[in-house]
Structure 1
């Protein structure tokens, strides 16, 4: 692989089997058990992958006093396992980041690309009012049989409006255009795939705060030809070839796209590095992905979890956080309770959103869900916003500090409640200063 002559380096970091063999649940990375909320975010629709409307610089957008999220949705009448086949983008808004009002479908005036739309990102420019929606176009329009082709797309030209009577609404006209297809060299095309799952999806817009350049990150697979010596020539392990892709784009032309070499690949380790995104903190780039237990290669015991890596610049070598890459996972007695984690910075910590997946379910694989009666499949699927996790971050180390309520997505200005560790530290300090009675 040649190095681009534009300062990006062109070198791909590896998440190795040595790293992944260190994966282990601990008190620092295991989330609390989740119980379903009294009411769902949307009483009429399943909600799963969700993302915040952000400014180009990455801050949570404030639109007339509201925060906005976009989510993959499907009717509550649909069996949860079928939801990806009809996924539709809907949006929700909140004045307090706790109570969310359904706003309807995002694209109600034009047909987006693909037979259905999967996850992406949403960017709002407060100076112009313009909105860009990056998404995965899955399948093709008017296809006779459901297909799983994927490419990156962008909708632009729209805006978002607010008023006291109608709340928040997206307005077109939207211009839907293809952004990128895999090149077959850095990024595997579907016809090259030998793996269990093919991926080229989840576009996430990011402006590098140190250079001002704009990029789109995405999930992909690294081509591994038959007969390759990768994984010691082990063909079974070669099928697991997930990667985090990146493309250069433009701040002014949303259709501009130049594929660059992957930031990270997981050849021989994992097939899916889903929903890649970056949180920038004090000179460090924290790259997060979500992945499943069943997408790890033979010989590696992983989890449905949030994984992460850190580097000193966007194109420097990424090191797995905590030595293994594991940041936050579900407890062993509820291994599939949450999924599709998405992190964003909040003062001296990182907040992590997700959705309530299959709770009250501890079988070893989600494949067994299909054997449950349909009534139990509905009952055990959350389909709503999960509690927000709070992460402490120090260099290459992270830990779970606690959790907020279901769907509580604070802004930078919002004060968060004292954690238990903070309470104990405060009481100790008060005791030592003679200002309290201890604990």
Structure 2
């Protein structure tokens, strides 16, 4: 049993280093880290080690509704779409490894470096208009007008979701541990969030920074001043480049046509989800429609689309349906898991915010870092109004890794993080 535990500690520690390295720069690497972490957790269980695990209660809050949805449909077909999957592993990996080996500082240093690598990659892509995976060095030019960039990840929305979480993490750590590395990482990530050009992330960023600025222990005047200066700097960088300014202003436009803005597509999809929910049976309203949700939404989508987009444009509904992705995590939960699922998701976040406020009160010296988690989660919730952040695999793995850190820091409180 002791041998099992030694190997388990090796695997779980290795997985945290792998997550720190790969979360910002490699989707495939994330999955390798999950495999290593899973092996470590299994070996811990075989060695009958049941200590130093994070609370399972927070996960149950949003997982139970998924189970109820499957029970209500008497089918496991919803399992592929539910949150009952391996993306939760980083939550256990980060917490367990920090508890067993006290490698928090080393892991967070590596995460800071890999985050800066992602940020530099985004800056490079934005000003060269070339993607890293397809660089043409013979035609390498630099432009003043930055293009949309996302570095090593799938798209700019996924990249921005990960960057939001990392930004607040390093801001909080730079306040608490006062290391230049974390402050520099925060600055690089700040620039990368702007250049990734995800408008929902911009809005989440502004709201999250606003909450953090108000909560950090300073006088009211300084709090307002810090937020105003930060907001002005953010807007100055956006309006300094015509392409970024145009992207920002497009947030307020709803165009109808062959080149319709993404805003009108989202609005039609949102209306489709709401209309579909209105037509649900009582059971579906309570527990959702599971895997049938998007088929039901499509029927409503076709009707609303034809009533919104002029027929002479000859645009087919399926071209704008995008697989029925809700582009709103709250409507996703409402449609697929019903009122119970949406309440479970919201309760999970209320619980996380409550725990961090409580930790900040109990540990004044660490207020800044716990309030940075509050700002991070609020930014994430705001972005969720426009994207399916919580069910994006890459974002979710980053989120669970960060939440594992959050619980570890709550447990450590005034202890040394060396």
Q: Could you say which TM-score interval applies, normalised by the shorter chain?
A: under 0.3
Q: Which has the higher contact order (CA 8 A, sep 6+)?
A: 2
By percentage of residues, which structure has more strand?
1
By percentage of residues, which structure has more helix?
2
